Amino acid sequence: MITEIGAFLHKGTGNKLLAQLKDDKRVLGIYVEAGRTEDLFAFREFGSASENDIVTVLVETKNADKIFKLITQKADLSEPQSGLVYQMPLHKRAS
């Protein structure tokens, strides 16, 4: 089974994660997109909004907890309103 690990992080953090995880054999895929949010981060560059990276990492479920912990450490989520990381299983559709 596959697990998705998603993260909403400060702009630039997603590309750093991509560079650090792209050669990790446990990672099946990693994708980084850009977005804006109004309530996730304390620092806001654009008045009421701040830019953020939306990161999606696909891993086998057996590796999910280790990769999740690694991402939270690399993303430096020690301060309030510094980002968000979650994980959820992806289920195969029955044919």
Mean pLDDT over 4-26 rounds to 91
Q: Is the pLDDT of residue 28 over 70?
A: yes
82 falls within a domain: yes
66 falls within a domain: no
Which domain does 52 fall in, by range?
2-58+77-90
Band (pLDDT 50/70/90 cuts) for residue 74 is confident
40 falls within a domain: yes
70 falls within a domain: no
Q: Is the pLDDT of residue 48 over 60?
A: no
41 falls within a domain: yes
pLDDT given at position 95: 60
68 falls within a domain: no
The 3-state secondary structure of 30-90 reads EEEEEEEECCCCCCCCECCEEEEEEEEEEEEHHHHHHHHHHHHHHCCCCCCCCEEEEEEEE
Question: How many domains are contained in the chain?
Answer: 1
- The pLDDT tens digits of the residues spanning 76-94 come to 777 777 788 999 998 766 6
The CATH number of the domain holding residue 46 is 3.30.70.120
d(CA 21, CA 26): 9
67 falls within a domain: no
39 falls within a domain: yes
